[in-house]
Amino acid sequence: MENIKMEGTAKTPDLSFDATTGVFDIKGRSIPENSVEFYKPILEWLDAYSKQAQAKTVVNVQLEYFNTSSSKCILDLLKKFEMISKNGNDIVVKWHYESDDEDMMEAGEDYKSIINVPFELVEIED
pLDDT in tens, 42-65: 999 999 999 999 999 999 999 999
Task: Please report how the helices 68-86 and 102-114 are oriented relative to each other, as an axis angle in degrees rounded to 10.
Answer: 40
Strand-pair partners of 90 = 56
Strand-pair partners of 14 = 27
Mean pLDDT across the chain, nearest whole number? Answer: 96
- Residue-wise pLDDT for 77-115, tens only, equals 999 999 999 999 999 999 999 999 999 999 999 999 999
Q: What is the percent of the chain where pLDDT is above 70?
A: 99
Sorting pLDDT into bands at 50, 70 and 90, what band is 35? very high
DSSP element (H, E) containing 46: helix 35-50
Which pLDDT does position 98 carry in this prediction?
A: 95
CB half-sphere exposure, 66, CA atoms < 13 A = 27
Query: How crowded is residue 4: how many other Cβ atoms within 10 Å of its Cβ?
Result: 16
Domain range annotation of the chain: 53-100+107-126
Which pLDDT does position 21 carry in this prediction?
A: 97
CA quadruple 54, 80, 39, 96: dihedral, nearest 10: -80
Which pLDDT does position 125 carry in this prediction?
A: 86
Task: Please report how the helices 35-50 and 68-86 are oriented relative to each other, as an axis angle in degrees rounded to 10.
Answer: 10
Helix/strand/coil for 119: strand
